[in-house]
Amino acid sequence: MYRSVALTIALGIAVCGVCLFCCGFLLQRQAIEERSECSDKSNFYRSTDESLRSLHCWYPAKFKKAVIILIDALKFEFTLYGPPWDENEHYRNKMPVFSELFAQTGGEQTALLKFLADAPTTTVQRLKALMTGGLPTFIDAGTNFYQTEVREDNLVNQMFRMGKKAVFMGDDAWVNLFPGKFTRAFAYPSFVVKDLHTVDNGVLEHLYPELDSEGSWDVLVAHFLGVDHCGHWLGRNHPAMAAKLKQLDQVIRLVASKLREDTLLVVMSDHGMTIDGDHGGETEDEVEAVLFLHAKKPFLSAESNMTAMEHRRSFPTVAQVDLVPTLALLLDLPIPYSSLGSLIPEAFPGLTAKHAKPQELLPLWLNVQQVARYLGQVPNSPLHPEQRLQELRQLWDQCLDNPPSAEAATKAFVNGSLVFLKDARHAAHEARVWATFDIPRMYTGLAMAVLGSLLLVYLCCKEHEETGVLDILKSPTGPCVVCWLLMPFSNSFAVAEHMVVLYLFQTLLASSILFKGPVTLSTSRSRALALCVAGILAATRLSAVFWRCREEHLGRPCDESLLLKSPSELQSRGLERVLGACGCALLLACAAWPARGAARLTSALAQTGLLAATGALLAHWLVQLKPPATVQGLLGSHQELLPNTAMLASLALMVLGTLLPPAQPGHGVSLLPAATLLFLFTLAGESYVPPLCLEAAALWGLIKLWSWLPPTDVWGPVLSWLLLGQLGFFGTGHQTSFSTIHWKAAFVGAPIDQPPLTLGACKVLLNTFAGPLVAAVSLPLVGNMFSLELPCCARRPFLPFLAYCVLLLLQEQLALHEERDRLRDDVGSSRMAKDEIVKRVWETRDQGVAKKSNTKIELAKTRIEPTHTNSQFMESIQKGELYLSQQFQQ
């Protein structure tokens, strides 16, 4: 009784410590809820600026209306039209509308821009940034699933306050983020990723009638989800993606043909997608979105008017937050108070003209004052806007006071303002205000978690008297334990954690055998031992085939296997994969089949459950090979029947397995681990059944190995079990990044019209931690497969699982703590590096133009916003700089 209470207290201390650490680490960023008003212009204009005033809010509107089409997850690459003409890449050359409109109207009416998103590239965070002009934080990604009203000032709120009638149709996230702000809203559920057409067809049902009744709206917002859903469910290189892109191409054509002179068309996307259709991280595929501006009248800078071929080779690049001030001033709205965006120069020709009038420079001056005002309200801001603003005010006064000879002052004012806005955004990225941490709470939680974990180890060692803490450190297990605990404190090891864990496991296995000492075994047993060790090593190494890349692995040899693609893709050999998964499930069912001599009722229940779970699972996988239309014809609205049957039967077997003793040597697999595997097979899908089987085979091999060579201490098996569980996490296609979360698991067995959100989240969690869960529920087998007596905390089914989770969480907290400091240091250095690179490129360009006085050499003026900089990017820039220098010298 005393030991049970002590173990519970120790476990409670560790869990409370982890929770306390999370409360200090996962804090929401501070939000300033001030609102911009039309009356603010009295503070922005000087008393001598009366000639600039007019009957408008902040700046005269260029357009009275706007049609905003947001195509979720439309990667910039999807909008290009031209070579390579590869028919196997279904996402290429399916939207020629952008190139055709540019060729027809020219650069003064049409612009196609790269639209860089800030991580995390999740939809709700991108919508907030596109409307507020602010920057998200890591923890904000969690609000993607429970959307609450945006408290900061935003474009939708300004439209509402200014009396503009905004009509929305599409993703229901908009009505959750901006409730009551739309005159009419036609919202559709956004989490049914299986459904590629319901949301888009609903948008089209209302879009065309609204376009025909222009008097009933001022701003029209249409959010299409088909591209995003197709990417999540089928991947971006799928015939369904080609069909969806062609459909949207026709939509944009029709909308453009219906535009009037006073209406602006904005086509944009919130983020891109990886080859698997995922997003959430900060890779180039995920952050490269698209922004397309089009109108019936000229409104763009003449300098951007280049030929269609030149436009395809070099595209202006803007940040997504830059849309907010640009769209606000084009529609005569106040710039939202907390916006950090800068004006897109292409939309305001005066910013690029050599002889600009003060009226043409006024938008930039308003933008500067608005950002400076906001930064002045931010506590602990690293940028001091007052001094910089005073310098710019002097330049602005020179532009006003001496217009005839103000060319130098105008150029200095524009350059200084753009630099200030860029620095402000950099400072916002680096400022602690965006992700405030409660340091005392974090350290207290970390100390409690360490204390609770050490107390658990002490209690287990005290019960197993022949093994002490010092004995653990002196054993072959000790160095591996130390390395495993210290690993999160190294950035390189954290990024390559999957390889480090594999190395530690194999090292621990080899050291356990080498330091075992002389053991007398028969020839047959020696051969079996060698085969067992070889099988364990092969199983763990083969699981690497199913590893997925994370963002930091880009540029390295990290090719993902074809086995990870959707079975409906012709190139992915779906039939062979499904047959392999079926073989694994049948083999597991045979291994867990009740032995002769078992109780008749228990045996009958177990056999029935195994037949039901395995049969439903095999049928579910085989049905998925058929096209969606065929599946709909076969099962109709009961498509969730097969996976639900498999999961319910597996759950019943798990309950039955907890009531039965673990299997003894020679009597097959214990029912509880087998039922857990069948349940996880359903959530993992046929692609990740083999790695789960490989993990189970390695676990079984370890038990056999220890039954022949009993370990000298009990902690070697426990640590091996822990490392093998972590290998299972990576083997099932996961990494510690958003883009590797398997969102499809949420829709297994869920109704297609509206899947339950809470149940779906539980399924995603079970899918994510399937590997560690298999190791945890099978840990009690260690003490039953051979005569070695493990500590009592390892013999009970639930306590080892909880302790196992505490150890994993403890290591993750150490990793998060180190990652926080690393990110804070790296952001600033990476941005400074990119600024220096861009400066050097422009200096090279200027030198070349000076040398070639008789020949006009122009490079496309691409505005490069700060993003993640890596060695590959720097090397490519340096090569480009060398090439340009050689060309200019020639």
Taken in order 735, 738, 742, 746, the sign of the CA dihedral is positive
- Say whether pLDDT at 198 is over 60: yes
Tell me how far apart the alpha carbons of residues 881 and 879 are, in angstroms, rounded to a whole number: 5
pLDDT in the model for residue 414? 85
Q: Tell me which DSSP letter residue 36 carries.
A: -
What are the φ and ψ backbone dihedral angles of 219, each rounded to 5 degrees?
Answer: -130, 130
Q: Tell me which DSSP letter residue 663 carries.
A: P
Q: Name which of 46-60, 527-541, 578-592 the model is least confident about.
A: 46-60
- Say whether pLDDT at 67 is over 80: yes
Contact yes or no for 220/53 (Cβ under 8 A): no
Q: What is the dihedral of CA 515, 519, 522, 524, to 10 degrees?
A: -10
Q: Which residue has the higher pLDDT, 214 or 813?
A: 214
Q: Which residue has the higher pLDDT, 715 or 733?
A: 733
Contact yes or no for 713/472 (Cβ under 8 A): yes
User: Quick check: helix, strand or coil at residue 178?
Assistant: coil
pLDDT interval class at 238 (50, 70, 90): confident
Q: What's the order of all strands across the beta sheet hosting 288-294? A: 184-188, 166-171, 219-224, 65-71, 263-268, 288-294, 110-116, 317-319
pLDDT in the model for residue 380? 63
257 burial via Cβ count (<10 Å: 0-12, 13-18, 19+): exposed
Question: Which has the closest alpha carbon to 860: 279, 231, 303, 93?
Answer: 303
What are the φ and ψ backbone dihedral angles of 831, each rounded to 5 degrees?
Answer: -70, -40
Q: Rounded to two decimals, what is the model's pTM?
A: 0.74
Using CA atoms, how far residue 340 sits from 139, 424, 427, in Å, is 20, 7, 10
Span 9-31, mean pLDDT?
Answer: 80
Q: Which residue has the higher pLDDT, 871 or 188?
A: 188
pLDDT in tens, 402-414: 665 567 778 888 8
pLDDT interval class at 790 (50, 70, 90): very low
Span 757-772, mean pLDDT?
Answer: 87
Q: Name which of 84-88, 467-471, 761-765 the model is least confident about.
A: 467-471
Residues contacting residue 141 through CB under 8 Å, at least 6 positions apart: 120, 122, 125, 280, 738
pLDDT in tens, 421-448: 888 888 777 655 555 677 888 889 888 9
Most confident of 133-147, 319-333, 746-760: 319-333
pLDDT in the model for residue 866? 38
Span 195-219, mean pLDDT?
Answer: 91
Residue 649: HSE in the Cβ half-sphere, 13 Å Cα cutoff? 24
Span 671-681, mean pLDDT?
Answer: 89
pLDDT interval class at 221 (50, 70, 90): very high
Query: What token pair was written down for 105?
Result: 């109207």
Tell me how far apart the alpha carbons of residues 565 and 234 are, in angstroms, rounded to a whole number: 8
pLDDT interval class at 800 (50, 70, 90): very low
- Say whether pLDDT at 628 is over 80: no
pLDDT in the model for residue 863? 36
pLDDT interval class at 51 (50, 70, 90): low
pLDDT in tens, 103-140: 888 788 899 999 999 888 888 889 998 999 988 766 65
- Say whether pLDDT at 851 is over 50: no
764 burial via Cβ count (<10 Å: 0-12, 13-18, 19+): buried
pLDDT in the model for residue 327? 95
- Say whether pLDDT at 825 is over 80: no
47 burial via Cβ count (<10 Å: 0-12, 13-18, 19+): exposed
Q: Which residue has the higher pLDDT, 405 or 226?
A: 226
pLDDT in the model for residue 257? 92
Contact yes or no for 290/76 (Cβ under 8 A): yes
Tell me how far apart the alpha carbons of residues 21 and 306 are, in angstroms, rounded to a whole number: 55
Tell me how far apart the alpha carbons of residues 740 and 19 are, in angstroms, rounded to a whole number: 24
Tell me how far apart the alpha carbons of residues 702 and 720 are, in angstroms, rounded to a whole number: 9
Contact yes or no for 686/624 (Cβ under 8 A): yes
pLDDT in the model for residue 433? 52
- Say whether pLDDT at 785 is over 70: no
- Say whether pLDDT at 305 is over 90: no
Span 211-229, mean pLDDT?
Answer: 92
Q: Name which of 42-51, 253-262, 558-567, 833-842 the model is least confident about.
A: 833-842
Percentages of the chain per state (helix, strand, coil), in multiples of 5? 60, 5, 30
Span 738-759, mean pLDDT?
Answer: 77
- Say whether pLDDT at 53 is over 70: no
Q: How would you label 541-571 residue by residue, b for 16+ Cβ within 10 Å and e otherwise?
A: eebeebbbbbbbbeeeeeebeebbbbbbbee
Token look-up 């849309």 returns 323
Span 696-718, mean pLDDT?
Answer: 78
Span 46-62, mean pLDDT?
Answer: 66
pLDDT in the model for residue 464? 58
What are the φ and ψ backbone dihedral angles of 114, each rounded to 5 degrees?
Answer: -75, 135
The region that residue 517 occupies, defined by phi over 0 for left and psi between -120 and 50 for alpha, beta otherwise, is left
Total Cβ atoms within 10 A of residue 315: 19
* Cis peptide preceding 756, ω within 30 of 0: no
pLDDT in the model for residue 564? 60
Span 70-97, mean pLDDT?
Answer: 87
pLDDT in the model for residue 854? 39
Average pLDDT score, the chain? 77
Tell me how far apart the alpha carbons of residues 114 and 289 are, in angstroms, rounded to a whole number: 6
pLDDT in the model for residue 830? 43
Tell me how far apart the alpha carbons of residues 597 and 592 are, in angstroms, rounded to a whole number: 14
Span 80-95, mean pLDDT?
Answer: 83
Strands (E) in 588-736, as ranges, are none
- Say whether pLDDT at 223 is over 90: yes
Tell me how far apart the alpha carbons of residues 462 and 453 are, in angstroms, rounded to a whole number: 14
Q: At what angle do helices 497-514 and 523-542 cross, to 10 degrees?
A: 170
Most confident of 325-334, 402-411, 460-469, 541-550: 325-334
pLDDT in the model for residue 406? 65
pLDDT in tens, 602-611: 888 888 999 9
Using CA atoms, how far residue 289 sits from 73, 344, 742, 802, in Å, is 7, 16, 22, 43
Q: Which CATH class is domain 62-347?
A: alpha beta
Strands 288-294 and 110-116: antiparallel
Q: Which residue has the higher pLDDT, 633 or 405?
A: 633
Span 569-588, mean pLDDT?
Answer: 74
pLDDT interval class at 856 (50, 70, 90): very low
pLDDT in the model for residue 138? 61
pLDDT in the model for residue 295? 93
Question: Which has the closest alpha carbon to 331: 561, 145, 58?
Answer: 58
